Amino acid sequence: MRTIDLSPLYRSFIGSDHLASMIDAAARNEKQASYPPYNIELLGEDKYRITMAVAGFAKDDVVIEVQENTLKVSGNKEANKTEEERKFLHKGISARNFERKFQLGDNVKVLAADMDNGLLHIDLERVVPEAKKPRRIEIGSQLIENQ
């Protein structure tokens, strides 16, 4: 694995240690298996959708969790006796258990999740709080404290 030196960022970016931790987390996520396949769509300026192909899984078999800036989608399907007795000549539809993690950007919230025709759709939106939006400071203005 390639090591990236981020020390030049520390001279001009305040809080770039957060950037370094995000890069490390992304590097760890690259080691994930490629199952199940997924798409990430841009629906609007700040709206996104993750679509995962989870054929063979029911709603009760899939768990979606968000912790801090990590979205974890896992599928756990109990093998029943009839499936163990079945003999396939070709098995191209995989229904193995999975866990996939996505690193979310700051202020990205999960809005909804739905499953339709073997596809799991997770809708996300970036919500920038008022305190983080840019504001204009007039020259000669004085600090006004919140009351």
pLDDT digit string, tens, across residues 41-96: 999 888 999 999 998 889 999 999 999 889 999 999 877 656 667 788 888 877 78
pLDDT given at position 18:
59
Paired residues of 51 in beta bridges: 39, 121
* Percentage of the chain lying above the pLDDT 70 cut: 69
Alpha-carbon distance 145 to 142, whole Å? 10
Beta 70-75 vs 62-67: how paired, if at all? antiparallel
pLDDT higher than threshold 60 for residue 15? no
pLDDT digit string, tens, across residues 128-137: 777 777 888 8
- What structural domains does the chain harbor? 1-31 (no CATH), 35-130 (2.60.40.790)
